[in-house]
Chains A and B, each alone.
Chain A
Amino acid sequence: MVTLLALLTGFLLLACITLAIAYRRLGRNARRNRAQMRALTDHLPLGIATMGRDGRHRYFNQAYADWFGLAREELLGQGVQACGHIEYSSRFEAMIAGDVSGPEVTFEIEMSGGEPERRARVSLVPFRPVSEAGEPIVIAVVSDVSANNLVEAEMQRQLSEMAHVARLATMGELAAKLAHELNQPLTAISSYTRASLRMMRSGKWESSELIDALEDASAQAERAADIIRGLRNFLRKSPSGRKPLDLPHLIDEVVRLVQHEARAHRVEIHVGATDQSQAISANRIEIEQVLFNLLLNAIESIPAEGSGRRQVSITTVAAEGGGVEIAVADSGAGFVEGVSDHLFDPFFSTKKDGMGMGLSICRTIVEAHGGVLRATNNAMGGATFRITLPAIEEEIHDEA
């Protein structure tokens, strides 16, 4: 998005310069060139106008008139006030109050009444023709950014959708693996117990056979429990892909990913200090997953109906014993004492449709990095989740 805006700004400036050059030439061969330039500029998606110090429009293209919803005649020779936009007029007046040689001014204005809402980015560029002793002029470039806003919103939506899908895919894979592995012992247990019941009901049974069946069934229950334990170990040991981590950049990205969700919940995300005096090494995707989960949980913890502060903050500080501590704090409901013991248990969830794997996976990932994930209630309400990750030196020492 930033690149797009930079491009747009660049394009605006280029357009202004071109226009300025064109305007200079206009003086030489005014009549012929004026028509040519109008034809040219009328086809630009930008509104362009030039105004004298008196504020009267000297020149404007079709897009400019269109943006203010005026006919050519209504603007021709009129002052900027005719545009009917107070902020626009006052910015213009502030500019010409000086000596019209300062830097260009760019600001955004909103057109009220329109549906959907229309916004424009306006650049006022002071320009003093070199060859003419004449008075300076101001070039106005108006670009409609409501369309850009739509594009941005759409991109945000797609990004967070992608993140959602990625998260679901991870969960889905995990669930499928779990389902497949648990199926075998469950099938055996079910068959053993059903067969035992049938035999006992029919009266035709030998106790040795039933004892065998029940012993086997209980061994299968133990096998199922082993699978769950194995899954946790599996999640624990995946140290691949660890690299020095640019934490501020990662946080920026994750915050962008949840921005859409935050807006939907009317929650403001505050990115606090990002101290990274201590270098850390981590699997970027895994830590991203953890931060994404924690931020999403934080956003969702703020009740929809609440009247209080709606804020989630993420802060990085140097941890006491070395390494860094990332804190994700919310102004939500916090958690009930007693629940805190189970927060990180698999399949424990306080959400209506939660699967209860999120925090369990988060803790497993953090611990696999030699870190710690803790949760506490805030004194002022809400909860804070703290991730502590060790500094690089410690990591290398650990692996040696």
Chain B
Amino acid sequence: MKHEPTVHVVDDDDAVRKAMCMLFRSDGLSTADYAAPDEFLTAVESSMTGCIVLDIRMPGMDGLDLQQRLQEREITMPVIFLTGHADVPKAVRAMKQGAVDFLEKPFDDEHLLTRVQYALAKGALQKHRKAERDQMAKRLEQLTPREREALNLIVAGRTNKEIADQLHISARTVEVHRARLMKKLEAESLSDLVRMVLGSA
């Protein structure tokens, strides 16, 4: 299922939630709103894209706990926290848990929209990187155990001769492995190969 980038607003205050959604829509963004953390946890899927705007103080589960639950489920959409009053320890914890921002209510609408745009861009970038990583993982799975060994040594900067000695095979065989794995991984050059392998780590 394909999702359009969406601003997910989680706030237990109906008026605040609806008003914020309207503000985001006025900026041309699509929105989804949730009145409780549980409601969001039920609806959210890891394939969703966009960002999450979260009230830090909600009954049941507070915003920080929700953020942690999302991380456990590997939902990586960037989170912007909203808070009614400056709470330094909470802000610190939120940022340590990877929040994009921590805004105090009442906020400046321009500032909030700017931060949401930034979060969406960051989310898109993360999504893109993740897609690349997933693709690379799939390609790596096609390698034979021997090819994987060769790959590790190539990336470690060994020469064909050194690799042949270490794996007790001929230099000619190393050449064959190298050509095959380059093809399977769709790498154009050695530097391309190194970048791919390191990027997928």
Contacts and interface: CB of A to CB of B under 8 A. Distances in A.
Interface in B54-96: 84-85
Interface string A4-35: 00000000000000000000000000000000
B23 interface: yes
B15 A202 contact: no
B25 interface: yes
Contacts of B23: 191-192, 194-195, 198
B13 interface: yes
Interface size class, chain B: 10 to 19
A217 B27 CA distance: 19
Contacts, number: 68
B19 A195 contact: yes
A238 interface: no
A97 to B, nearest CB: 74
A190 interface: yes
Contact of B18 (A194, A216, A223): A216
A188 B85 contact: no
Interface in B1-50: 13, 15-16, 18-20, 22-23, 25-27
Interface string A188-206: 1111101110110010000
Given A184-B13, A220-B15, A191 B84 contact: no
B16 A188 contact: yes
A180 B16 contact: no
Interface stretch (B103-111, B143-151, B162-170): B103-111
Contacts of B105: 183-184, 186-187
Contact of A187 (B19, B22, B25, B85): B19
Interface in A161-216: 176, 179-180, 183-192, 194-196, 198-199, 202, 209, 213, 216
B25 A195 contact: yes
B interface majority secondary structure: helix
Nearest to A219: B15
Contacts of A194: 23, 26, 109
Interface in B168-190: none
Contacts of B106: 183, 186-187, 190
Q: Is the interface of A mostly helix, strand, loop or mixed?
A: helix
Contacts of A185: 15
Contacts of B107: 187
A198 B15 contact: no
Contacts of A176: 85
Contacts of A198: 23, 26-27
Contacts of B16: 184, 187-188, 191
B26 A202 contact: yes
A184 to B, nearest CB: 5
A195 B15 contact: no
Contacts of A188: 13, 15-16, 18-19
A196 B20 CA distance: 11
B26 A192 contact: no
Interface string B105-148: 11101000000000000000000000000000000000000000
A198 B20 CA distance: 13
Nearest to B82: A187
Contacts of B19: 187-192, 195, 213, 216-217, 220
Given A183-B84, A186-B106, A187-B106, A223 B15 contact: yes
9 contacts: A183-B105, A185-B15, A188-B15, A191-B20, A192-B23, A198-B26, A198-B27, A213-B22, A220-B19
Given A180-B84, A183-B105, A190-B19, 12 more contacts: A184-B13, A184-B16, A184-B84, A185-B15, A187-B16, A187-B20, A187-B106, A188-B13, A188-B15, A194-B109, A198-B23, A220-B19
Interface of A: 176, 179-180, 183-192, 194-196, 198-199, 202, 209, 213, 216-217, 219-220, 223
- Which 10 pairs show the lowest CB-CB distances between chains A and B? A191-B19, A198-B26, A188-B15, A194-B109, A195-B22, A195-B26, A195-B23, A188-B19, A187-B105, A187-B106
